[in-house]
Amino acid sequence: MRDDGTMTQPWPAPTARGAVHATIPVPGSKSLTNRALVLAALAQEPSILRGPLRSRDTELMASALRALGTGIEDTPAGAWSVRPAPLRGPAQIDCGLAGTVMRFVPPVASLARGHVAFDGDPRARQRPLNTVLDALRALGADVHGSALPFEIRGTGALAGGEVTIDASASSQFVSGLLLSAARFERGITIRHQGAAVPSLPHIDMTVAMLRTAGIDVDDQQQNTWRVLPGPVDRLDLDIEPDLSNAAPFLAAAAATAGQVTVPGWPEHTTQAGDAMRGILEKMGAQLHRDSSGLTVTGPDELGGVDLDLHDVGELTPTVTALAALAGGRSRLRGIAHLRGHETDRLAALQREINALGGAVEQTEDGLLIDPRPLHGGTWHSYADHRMATAGAILGLRVPEVTVADIATTGKTLPDFPDMWATMLESAV
């Protein structure tokens, strides 16, 4: 049984009969969807979000905002219509295991009138939250607790102002405060002090979306972000495909010397998953992007790589799986912060690949992967969607790999098993 109370079911990861050749449409970006939902809830007028991702994380975000009074409804065309309303409690917020919900919604709740209680899956109670909660206290919020479960007792407004935080554990601490800051009475100035902030492209995404909503934001000074108070404009958005969710399918082309096309790959994007293009090229794949999308053609043998993944840590499970199938050693650096994600991803990847006969070693800030002949066995996903898809990638080349909980991919990609099976029908 998973943390959310649903039953797990072992999933035999299918082995590719040969090279895969497929076109795989990928649903909308989780990161863009959840940021857009928050901004739309704070806007002056109704917004429309076309092509949003429908997954556990985004449904949890929508449910959280509905609990605070926002109207979020499906349109006949499959979009989300978002009607802002006065934020109010009492409300119960289920964060599940969604980092965006547990870090983006508390600042919204600080603007509500009434008590708002937060909780989530058991693993979520171990994830760091004190940075954003202490920041809200410093900005004038009445916060009780420093991790899940906690409560915010709102008065309908928040003073805002200047705050110094250590966001070295997650860029979401910065993004969460920025998304609501235009509604704070004095806006916000955030200063980061500490080791480098990971996943900076996600903050760039947040800043770009703030500007789309007409919000005055200044990010010119390193490690400092300023948002002026003011109205939030309505959004009229087409959500891009989720490029991080596309990564396992592109990896399938690389792992099987096949070819996979993902339609709608944007020419310009703030999504961290776009970095997968350069990573695959370094491993020997050929890439081509045109009006039909991005096409990856895999090499006869994957090459080992030395990569700093600090800004794109979410790609680590996918890259590690490919590195375990490569022809030489790989070193992945700059990802110590992954020890605080859905699970300790570095320990989990080491444990699971080595259990299949691999040779993965943890370093202070990453992993060393020496390819070895792998054998079948059970791949544990630790309620972590990206761990589950990493097991599926290995199963393409390693017979009799069983992913213990493929359903956890529903966190960001509910149809993953069917999409994977459809892709493999093309293997020749």
What pLDDT shows up at residue 226?
Answer: 98
Q: What is the pLDDT of residue 343?
A: 81
Annotated binding site for 3-phosphoshikimate: 30-31, 35, 170-172, 199, 314, 341
Residue range(s) of every CATH 3.65.10.10 domain in the chain? 11-27+240-424, 30-238
Tell me whether the omega of the peptide bond preceding residue 149 falls within 30 degrees of 0, making it cis: yes
The average pLDDT across 92-121 equals: 97
- Whether the pLDDT of residue 395 is over 80: the answer is yes
| pLDDT greater than 60 at residue 3 | no
| pLDDT at 54 (0 to 100) | 94
Q: Which of 343, 274, 400 is nearest to 13 (CA)?
A: 400
Query: Under CATH, domain 11-27+240-424 is a member of which superfamily?
Result: Enolpyruvate transferase domain (3.65.10.10)
CATH number of 30-238: 3.65.10.10
The active-site residue, picked from 59, 73, 162, 314, is 314
Question: pLDDT digits over 281-316, tens only?
Answer: 999 999 999 988 999 999 999 999 999 999 999 999
How many whole angstroms separate alpha carbon 183 and alpha carbon 16?
Answer: 52
- Give residue 423's pLDDT band: very low, low, confident or very high (50, 70, 90): very high
Q: What is the mean pLDDT of residues 33-51?
A: 98
At 128 the pLDDT is 82
Q: Residue range 95-106: average pLDDT?
A: 96
Residue 156 binned pLDDT confidence (cut-offs 50, 70, 90): very high
* Res 340: pLDDT: 78
pLDDT of residue 1 exceeding 80, the answer is no
Q: What single string gives the DSSP state of each residue in 347-394?
A: HHHHHHHHHTT-EEEE-SSSEEEE------EEE--TT-HHHHHHHHHH
Looking at this protein, which amino acid is placed at residue 272?
A: A
Mean pLDDT, rounded, of the chain? 95
What tens digit of pLDDT does each residue of 221-279 get?
Answer: 999 999 999 999 999 999 999 999 999 999 999 999 999 999 999 999 999 999 999 99
Residue 46 pLDDT exceeds 60: yes
DSSP at 28: B
Q: Which of these ranges, 2-6, 76-80, 293-297, 310-314, has the smallest mean pLDDT?
A: 2-6
**Sign of the dihedral through C-alpha 197, 199, 201, 202:** negative
Q: How many beta carbons lie within 10 A of that of residue 181, not counting itself?
A: 27
Asked if 132 contacts 176 with a C-beta cutoff of 8 angstroms, the reply is yes
- Give 8's pLDDT tier (boundaries 50, 70, 90): low
Convert the pLDDT of each residue in 351-362 to its tens digit: 999 999 999 999
Which pLDDT belongs to residue 386?
Answer: 95
Cα distance from N-terminal residue to C-terminal residue, the chain: 36
pLDDT digits (tens, 9 = 90+) for 309-347: 999 999 999 999 999 999 999 999 999 999 976 689 999
pLDDT at site 342: 67
Query: What CA–CA distance (Å, rounded) separates 279 from 355?
Result: 26
pLDDT band for position 7 (cuts 50, 70, 90): very low
pLDDT for 45 equals 98
This prediction's pTM: 0.90
Q: Is 73 a catalytic residue?
A: no
Instruction: Please report, in range form, the residues annotated as the binding site for phosphoenolpyruvate.
Output: 30, 99, 127, 172, 345, 386, 411
Annotated binding residues, as ranges? Answer: 30-31, 35, 99, 127, 170-172, 199, 314, 341, 345, 386, 411
- pLDDT number for residue 293: 95
Percent of the chain at pLDDT exceeding 70? 97
